[in-house]
Amino acid sequence: MKKLKALSVFVVCLLFVSFQSSATGVQNSMNDYKIEEVDNLIPGKDVAKAWTLTYNDSQTPVNVMKRVKSDCIYYVVNTEFFEVCYKCTSKGFGVGTMKNAWSCVPGEINEAVLNQDELKNQKVILPWKVDDEKALGLIASYLPGLLNAEYAHLLN
């Protein structure tokens, strides 16, 4: 009898998880992304590397620029309509504060597009330092969650 109850609970949980994953189809559509290094970049004092991040073969890629400052690596992520900065230190990886000199999207537009609660939730994604490959994968995975629902189309 205990085994039957345990099996029933397992089946119900499995059905619930299946329903939840299909109900969040918007986020699932962002799982198909491509990251390409920008070849013609001339590394300078401020930008060490750059990549383009494209979701679902979109015609509007997201730019990611790596900036190295003493004890911190910044990944500045931007498009025409929003920008966000992820930082990586010995204390972890997560959303950081964008320096004014790096900003090119008006604050009012950026605040409308980005979900302010989710920005706070992503302050620490991992509590340890990561390499470029891991950082780019995390950015690609977590970035769609930063956009308010009415602006999710900006990544497609």
pLDDT band for position 82 (cuts 50, 70, 90): very high
How many percent of the chain have pLDDT more than 70?
77
> What pLDDT score was predicted for residue 59?
86
CA distance 120 to 111: 13
pLDDT at 74 over 60: yes
Residue 132 burial (CB count, 10 A) = 17
pLDDT at 6 over 60: no
Which residues are bridge partners to 126 per DSSP?
93
pLDDT band for position 12 (cuts 50, 70, 90): very low
User: CB of 144 within 8 A of CB of 27?
Assistant: yes
pLDDT at 8 over 90: no
pLDDT at 149 over 50: yes
pLDDT at 23 over 50: no
Read off the pLDDT of residues 86-109 as tens digits, 9 standing for 90 and up: 999 999 999 999 999 999 999 999
Where would I find the beta strands (DSSP E) of the chain?
A: 33-37, 49-55, 62-69, 72-78, 83-89, 92-96
Residue with tokens 């025409």: 80
Close Cβ partners of 124 (under 8 Å, ≥ 6 residues apart): 92, 93, 94
CA distance 57 to 36: 12
pTM of the model: 0.78
